[in-house]
Structure 1
Amino acid sequence: MSSVDSPDGWEILEQAGELARRGEAFALATVVWRQGPSSGKQGCRAIITAEGQLRGWIGGACAEPAVIREARQALVEGTPRLLLLGSPEQFGGGVPEGMTVVPISCQSEGALEVYLEPVAPVPHLVVVGRSPMAHTLVALADALGWRTGLVEHPGTDTALDTVTERSFVVVATQGHHDEEAVERALAARPAYVGLVGSRRRGAGVLGYLAERGVAADALARVQVPAGLDLGSVAHREIAVAILAELVRIRAARGVPPAAALPELPAEVVDPVCGMTVEVDDPVPFEGRDYSFCCAGCRAAFLRDPRAYAKKESRC
């Protein structure tokens, strides 16, 4: 994990907007209360990416690891949370219901309350085609705040290169390079590939691709015809039917699973202060390795390692 230079709160919000437009998941952390001494101040903000990078400023070395760990869990669950970084004893045990308490007791008597808000990626839709329906579908998705791309020439347009496993792709070429567009879309393994056309036309496209060696499991992912079945309707209604199907799929899938987040370094408990810390430059003692949040805890352990090792074994 890492942090970068500390921009002010407004710049952090600008960066958050840019990440959302690019379709990247992150959590926004805001300090809503502090008790000194603490380097974090009310209104301090930071972004925590899915990779565990912290951009901005929340607090010092004690606060950052805890905020990053809790932010990544909030991304997995898709729900915001309010953290108390400190000790419940500082409040006489009167911790509000629903607040997550994270001990940070090393070399500080300060405390912070941090609000963590996970931000799901903006849906990404790429529509291939030049028809009025294709333009209508892009306009409707734009109105929902989705990130969109319109590909009029699948052989040369680079918008298909932006497709990822989170993207939705709708091929509406009406017989103009259908096969090429579907094959290029499937290569990126997007969340959805839909072909606008009749089932007969779809069978012909998929049969041709099967003969070209495209895997059967990939072809099985193509939705033909794309969209909810509304019967015989005009092109604007077809666009609505397709977007409705995509909204339903997105709602059903929810947030990404924990396995989708990159792994962070292993964590252990500091035997001196009880904080959860990364495994970093561990100290071996009696067959175990111990890591620490700071030089002070490390020095305390080295003065009497047996006492702290016994203390940890009793926990």
Structure 2
Amino acid sequence: MTTAIDDRAGELLAGRIPFVHATVVRAQVPASARAGDDAIILADGSIEGFVGGQCTESSVRAAALGAMRDGESVLLRVLPENAGEFPEAPGARVVVNPCLSGGAMEIFLQPRLPRPLVQVVGGSPIAAALVELGAPLGFDVVREAPPLPPAAVVIASHGGDEPAAIRAALDAGVGWIGLVASPRRGAGVLAELTLTEEERARISTPAGLDIGARTAAEIALSILAEIVREARAGRLPVAEPGEAPARPGEAVDPVCGMTVLVGPDTPHLVVDGEDVWFCGPGCRDRYARTAGR
């Protein structure tokens, strides 16, 4: 990353704000960007940095939001309408951008999403092992209640007011709640609560996959394995600070046929009382001339 983008990425990661880091890998003349140029794309489609002109940005915005949604990196190949020879890149996503003046480009899009936040309740050896093992598995594990609802809560207090801890997690909307207890004691704790079917489905007790765990570290591993399974199944939503920005709307440029993201800076015209959106000023001006405006 360039220094400015690196600093900005650090701020966003610290604030648990999702973004996509875009890096130009290759560019052909007369593309305005050069290999190594990079930018950050936020969830509202805004771009900070430089990865090419407005036509390239339109393709990058749309692909970046898709990468953010899927959580998968993308190698984006942006080609002009009559592109010449450009080396193949297996597995890349290819976009033919009719408004490019020339110069094919490859841009690597890497989503940087907040790590799932796991709260551990209790001071048992299992709780301590969860904190130690969580980070290498890609989780932010905390003891104190975070300002945002965590993705998962593990209650490993071996007593205490476990029903109150479960109820607090349920009311906060936590997607997975693990209670460390024997089957008999776990059933007793749940019997103290009035649960709907939906709430009961969010509670796992005894917490953890059955791997024959005996030690505190092994039990913590089994619990984290269950959380990984839930995360991979998409059942651990990551809470974002404040209200998540709405995904920009999409429109089709009537001149070149490109799908563009609609935002404050997207070129457009009002035709017969309706907005018409364009990938760039060139298509907008061409449409205006054709329409006699």
Pick one of 176, 188, 208 that aligns with 1:192: 176
1:249 aligns with 2:230: yes
Deviation at 1:134, TM superposition (A): 0.7
Instruction: Tell me which residue corresponds to 1:46.
Output: 39
The code of the aligned residue for 2:277 comes to S
Judge conservation of contact 1:21–1:122 (CA < 8 Å) in 2. no
| Residues 14-29 of structure 1 mapped to structure 2, 5 A cutoff | 14-20=7-13, 23-29=16-22
Instruction: Tell me which residue corresponds to 1:268.
Output: 251
Q: CA, structure 1 residues 234+304, in 2 after alignment: closer, same or farther (shift >3 Å)?
A: closer
Instruction: Tell me which residue corresponds to 1:209.
Output: 193
Deviates more, 1:235-244 or 1:21-30: 21-30
The code of the aligned residue for 1:171 comes to I
Judge conservation of contact 2:58–2:279 (CA < 8 Å) in 1. no
Pick one of 133, 156, 159 that aligns with 1:175: 159
DSSP-derived class of the 1:247 partner: helix
Distance of 1:69 and 1:29 partners within structure 2: 12
Identity of aligned residues (%): 41
Distance of 2:212 and 2:25 partners within structure 1: 53
Distance of 2:249 and 2:213 partners within structure 1: 57
Q: CA, structure 1 residues 206+264, in 2 after alignment: closer, same or farther (shift >3 Å)?
A: same
Q: What is the TM-score when the length of structure 2 is the normalising length?
A: 0.81
Distance of 1:301 and 1:101 partners within structure 2: 26
Gaps of 5+ in 1: 1-7, 152-158, 307-315
1:284 aligns with 2:280: no
Pick one of 5, 29, 46 that aligns with 1:12: 5
Alpha-carbon displacement from aligned partner over 1:271-311 (angstroms, at most 9, x marks no partner) = 334433345644326x97532234443332222239xxxxx
Deviation at 1:204, TM superposition (A): 2.7
Gaps of 5+ in 2: 238-243
Distance of 1:112 and 1:254 partners within structure 2: 36
Instruction: Tell me which residue corresponds to 1:128.
Output: 121
Name the larger-Rg structure: 1
Q: What is the TM-score when the length of structure 1 is the normalising length?
A: 0.76
Distance of 1:205 and 1:113 partners within structure 2: 56
Deviation at 1:66, TM superposition (A): 1.3
Which structure carries more helix by proportion?
1
Judge conservation of contact 1:23–1:124 (CA < 8 Å) in 2. no
